[in-house]
Structure 1
Amino acid sequence: MANWAKLGARLRAWRDDSRRTEANRARAAGDIAGFQGAVLLHGSLLLFKVAWLGGQPGLALRCSAYVLLCLAVVLLVRRHPELHARYRELIGTVCGATLAWMMLQLTVHRGLDLFKLHRGSSLALLGALLLSSPAAWLFMNIMFGQSPTAFLRFSLPLLALQPLWQSKRVCQCLLEEAGVQAPLRTLYDALDAVHCIALPAPLIYSPATAPPPNDLAACLAIDWWAVAFVAVVLPLTLLAHMEKGRARQQAVGWPQQQQQQQQHHHYHHHQEQQPGSTRELLLCIYLYSGLVWLLTVQLGPLVWRLLPPLA
């Protein structure tokens, strides 16, 4: 009971944090624009690509739940801004989970068929997998929302569970495409070679980094790396770096107006003024990517057995 009481006290303190809610109020206009853009983009995609051209109106109707959710958030921000400011992070998490569910539905039911665009290219195949898994969509959603990293450390692993659990079905769709085996193997070998540079010598030549036994194992390794790194580790690293930069600005006593202008600058423009910091950030990203790849290749075969069997 004492642990539950402490948890409840922490949640109440988080909900009533004035600094957090004030920052959320400042992002209200951007949230409205972002969710309106999501309604336009995904609504058009479902209407024209899935329902009309794809001939799957039922799938489009089912996936329109995300579009309706985005519309509801826009109305919430406009009519109840204080409620949105208090629970913005939780709302963003629900929207991210719904977005991931929608993209997975479109992938496994062939609503988009992005894998057909590979044309024998391993890079094109990686792009299609990032959009279908749906690591790239989650990354964009997280970077746009810019929730505090203290919250994202708990929410992002939960968001990643859904695409990781459905990875076998995603890979089944990928492997059914003609001519995908060669670029898939090339992509796996390229990722393995690039990340081996970041790994200690005993790990580089371990059996864990040997070629996968089949195409399904190669696809699962790439998909899990994409979800774990692109949708979890990479946004956490970037946002933590941005938070540290803002904290340094406030520590040296910059005027409030100048701080707000700096926060709206493009991230890379700020980094151009700190080449040493940029190099450290890129090195951390590379090392984290290598670590995620190593864990995926080593632990993946043990975990994949627990995933739902292919139909």
Structure 2
Amino acid sequence: MRAAAAQFAADYAANPRRRTINEERAKDDATGGLILGFLWLGVAAKTWWGGEAGLALLPASYGLHEATYFALHRWVPSFRGLYVRFLREILFIPAMLHTLATLITLSVWSHSSILTLHGGSSLRLLLVLAVANGSLAHSMYYPFCGFLLPYVAAALPLTLLLPLASSRLLCRRLLEDASSTQAVTNLQSTLNIAHAAVAGPFGWSDFPSTGADAALPSCIQVNVYLIGLLGCALPLLLARPLPEQQQQPRQQRRRQPAEQQTDGAGALHETLRRQHLLPRLALASAIAWSIGAAAAFTFGG
């Protein structure tokens, strides 16, 4: 088993499609990382001026991390070659964990937590939770980086553990604001109704409807649902599969009709059509909602 896994990893590392993607995305990684770095430095400055110097170190360190990477990419030519061949996938995981730790720590412990910005609106609360728990970051970072499916499937368990483990803490922080209780209850009820036909008894949760403690299971269910849908299912569905033609003999590929070779837009449309993205996303949503219900019953007491 270990030998097979090692062989698979070696084959993946030698995959020409992986090398091509890494070469194409290396410059985008540096530029996008630098932009994110400046944004995080802005967050660090705001946190520092708010009297939370200790918390400001997390976003500041992320900004310095991205600035260092940009400098290496720009002025150390040998680094780019190593990055494309070996380091891109390796460095992504600690960078992602750094982002998640910063988001969750600031959301839970900062006086200016993003969790206070829902304004009593269930829809806004959905977005606030998706940002705070890192699920939105997952849904953006993985597709933007263009990783192949085997890597995404292997990396997600490592980067999802922290958001899942922080669900109860995040929800307790959210429910410290009395105005969030009704918004959480309304959001959970709406999502319950939306998933009732598909998830059935596995997703239908009958939680108490009053009080902050009673709203805790509802919050955990919604939070875990977002992590499962945006943080796990969407990156997997949007990940690039291993090229099918890589397994075909070269002569067979040459004999394929020219009309089967589509342009970029046509290829994307064909990929989405073949993968049946929307039905799969709907099924993933029902599964994530059911998992959220199980988590709520287990950890919401």
Q: TM tier, shorter chain?
A: 0.7 to 0.9
Q: Which 5+ residue runs of structure 1 have no aligned equivalent? A: 306-311
Q: Secondary structure at the match of 1:147?
A: coil
For 2:8 and 2:239, the matched residues in 1 are separated by 23
Counterpart residue number, 1:297: 293
Gaps of 5+ in 2: 209-213
Contact 1:108 1:173 in 2 (8 A): yes
SS in 2 for 1:198: helix
Q: Could you say if the C-alpha distance between residues 122 and 66 of structure 1 is closer, same or farther in structure 2, counting changes exceeding 3 Å? A: same
Matches within 5 A, 1:39-118: 39-47=37-45, 49-52=46-49, 54-78=50-74, 79=76, 80-85=79-84, 86-110=86-110, 112-118=112-118
Q: Tell me, in whole angstroms, the C-alpha distance in 1 between the residues paired with 2:204 and 2:100.
A: 29
SS in 1 for 2:190: helix
State the alpha-carbon separation in 2 of the partners of residues 125 and 230 from structure 1.
15
Q: CA deviation at 1:104?
A: 0.8
Instruction: Report SS of the residue matched to 1:27.
Output: helix
Query: What does residue 186 of structure 2 align with?
Result: 186
Contact 1:15 1:87 in 2 (8 A): no
Aligned counterpart, 1:237: 237
Which whole-Å CA distance do the structure 2 matches of 1:82 and 1:94 have between them? 20
Cα deviation, 1:113-148, whole Å, max 9, x if unaligned, reads 222221221001111111111211222111211211
1:308 alignment partner in structure 2: none
Change (3 A) 1:208 1:229: closer
Corresponding residue for 1:28?
26
RMSD: 3.0
Q: Distance in 2 between matches of 1:73 and 1:302?
A: 41
How far has the Cα of 1:304 moved from its partner?
5.9
Q: 2:155 matched to which residue of 1?
A: 155
| Equivalent residues, number | 283
Contact kept, 8 Å, 2:36 with 2:63, in 1: the verdict is: yes
* Amino acid of the structure 1 residue aligned with 2:81: E
| 3-state secondary structure, aligned to 1:120 | coil
Asked if 2 retains the 8 angstrom alpha-carbon contact of 1:167 and 1:224, the reply is yes
The aligned residue for residue 288 of structure 1 is: 284
**Quick check: 2:195–2:203 contact (8 Å CA) kept in 1?**
no
Distance 1:9 1:209, change over 3 A: same
Residue range with higher mean Cα deviation, 290-299 or 5-14:
5-14
Q: 1:14 Cα shift? A: 3.3
Contact 2:203 / 2:293 at 8 angstroms: preserved in 1? yes
**Amino acid paired to 1:175:** L
Q: Distance in 2 between matches of 1:154 and 1:303?
A: 26
State the alpha-carbon separation in 2 of the partners of residues 144 and 303 from structure 1: 33
CA distance in 1, matches of 2:164, 2:8: 30
Displacement of 1:233 after TM fit? 0.7
Retained in 1: the 8 A contact 2:121–2:183?
Answer: yes
Contact map agreement 1:46 1:60 (CA 8 A) in 2 = yes
Percentage identity across aligned positions?
23
Asked whether the 8 Å contact 1:209–1:298 carries over to 2, the reply is: no
Letter in 1 for 2:64: L
Change (3 A) 1:75 1:275: closer
Q: Is the 8 A contact 1:76 1:84 kept in 2?
A: no
Q: Is the 8 A contact 2:192 2:203 kept in 1?
A: no
Q: Distance in 1 between matches of 2:18 and 2:258?
A: 20
Deviation at 1:222, TM superposition (A): 0.7
Aligned residue number for residue 210 of structure 1: 205
Contact 1:36–1:71 under 8 Å retained in 2: yes
Amino acid at match of 1:70: E
- CA separation of 1:197/1:254 partners in 2, compared to 1, >3 Å: closer, same or farther? farther
* Correspondence list, 1:272-287, <5 A: 277=273, 280-287=276-283
Question: What is the CA–CA distance in structure 2 between the aligned matches of 1:142 and 1:37, rounded to whole Å?
Answer: 17
Which stretch has the larger CA shift, 207-216 or 151-160?
Answer: 207-216
Q: CA separation in 2, counterparts of 1:145 and 1:119?
A: 33
How far off is 1:32 after superposition? Answer: 1.4
